[in-house]
Amino acid sequence: MLPQELIRKKRDGRHLDAAEIDAFVRGITDGSVTEGQAAAFAMAIFFQGMDLDERVALTLAMRNSGSVLRWDHLNLPGPVVDKHSTGGVGDKTSLILAPALAACGGFVPMVSGRGLGHTGGTLDKFESIPGYQAKPDRTLLEKVVKEVGCAVIGATDDIAPADRRLYAIRDVTATVETIHLITASILSKKLAAGLDALVMDVKFGSGAFMPDYAKARELAESIVTVAEGAGLPTVALMTDMNEVLGLTAGNALEMRECIDILRGGKAEPRLYEVTAALAAELLALAKLAPDVATGRAMFDEAVASGQAAERFARMVRALGGPADLLDAPDRYLDAAPIVRPVYPEREGVVAAIDTRAVGIAVVALGGGRTKTTDPIDFAVGLADVAGLGAAVGPAGRPLALVHARSEAQVEQATAMLRRAFTVADTAPAAGPLIAERIG
């Protein structure tokens, strides 16, 4: 069937079968479907939606548009697992989770993305390590996954190329925000990594990709059902992004925070809890633990014993980074020349945070990008970021420490943070950090 006939069918609210979806996706991949047709297809889905069978078919077709990693020939003595987050500000769970899962018997080829807009990207955090090779060839990737148990890497061009083209078209045609397309987009890439089990961290709140709880929940449900339909056991946790996760936002700063935790430093409780909960769910789902409570105990032990740190160090070394990064992070990670506290204009407690605006302040410092081609300054960002309910004041605790290159940047970040934080007399009612488990 001609692409325009498929578009017409979807436009009119009719069901597309798997062969039709597959043909359209092949056309997106080989270029025979034009940009206009792909945009019209996305807009038709935006208005008409897709039923479960269509979403599974779209996900599988996009997965099959490129290489699909396979691990069976390596005879790994454990399951291949991963976590995916819908993204947040200061979301650094992967840095602890990947090596901890490896220490618990999982094999984690963690294909990560770069940050874009207000959310940070795991890949950028790893690229703050000098020498770290985020795009190893297949032989090295397999070696590291087999011998170390985890490899945090970037997606290669041959992973789900149909998604890459369609996403770029959606981005400029106001068709990103549709749960059906987001589901297929996220899962096509995860399925291409050849996983046995997946845990999803679906964030809600002011710093989330989907701030509205009901919408984020709908996305989580869609991802879990489509993943199961595509044969990938998946559980999702709904986690709060109404404040920065952990104490820092900015690439090298977040790397330092996680190295400190891996080396036995005290973790910011929200960051630890989210990471531990995701790990526990995944260990149980992948049958590395008999239940979630045991999974949690295994994660705690992996971090507390230093086994997660040891995996992290081996992964960094195997992928070209310094062998002693964990012992001497300051020798390797960039540091900004200026560190300045930002105080609120009045004394009180943090009553609300526009976390998205905090993320944008990091981008404005140079720590993120607005276009995929923007360079990143790994050194800049925010540290000691105040959470909801923290007592702050002009002569007391600052809202955050700004790590910047110039005084002009400090001034800009100060104004942005003061707008992002609402300081009042009373603390807000605390909402749940992990609101729900779906799956």
Give catalytic residues, as residue numbers.
Answer: 82-85, 122, 170, 185, 189-190
Comparing CB distances to ligand URA, the nearer of 166 and 308 is 166
Comparing CB distances to ligand URA, the nearer of 169 and 399 is 169
Comparing CB distances to ligand URA, the nearer of 204 and 332 is 204
Minimum distance from CB of 178 to ligand URA (Å)? Answer: 8
Question: Which phi and psi angles does 424 have, rounded to 5°?
Answer: -135, -175
Minimum distance from CB of 114 to ligand URA (Å)? Answer: 11
Minimum distance from CB of 300 to ligand URA (Å)? Answer: 31
Q: How far apart are CA 311 and CA 148, in angstroms?
A: 6
Pairing of strands 338-342, 197-204: unpaired
Nearest residue relative to ligand URA (C-beta): 185
Q: What is the 3-state secondary structure (H, E, C) of 47-109?
A: HHCCCHHHHHHHHHHHHCCCCCCCCHHHCCCCCEEEEEECCCCCCCHHHHHHHHHHHCCCEEE
Q: How far apart are CA 52 and CA 330, in angstroms?
A: 49
Rounded to 10 deg, the angle between the 355-362 and 407-420 helix axes is: 170
Comparing CB distances to ligand URA, the nearer of 206 and 414 is 206
Q: For residue 179, what are the CA distances in angstroms to 49, 155, 237, 309, 386? A: 8, 22, 17, 37, 32
Helices (H), ranges, 117-211: 122-127, 138-148, 161-171, 179-191
Minimum distance from CB of 176 to ligand URA (Å)? Answer: 6
Structure tokens at 186: 């996220």
Comparing CB distances to ligand URA, the nearer of 186 and 247 is 186
> Which among 20, 97, 31 has a CA at the least distance from the CA of 61?
20
Task: List contacts with ligand URA (CB under 6 A).
Answer: 167, 176, 181-182, 185-186
Q: How far apart are CA 21 and CA 58, in angstroms?
A: 6
Minimum distance from CB of 315 to ligand URA (Å)? Answer: 23
CB 355 within 8 A of CB 246: no
> Which among 86, 92, 87, 104 has a CA at the least distance from the CA of 150?
104
- Which DSSP category does 91 fall into? -
Minimum distance from CB of 25 to ligand URA (Å)? Answer: 15
Comparing CB distances to ligand URA, the nearer of 158 and 411 is 158
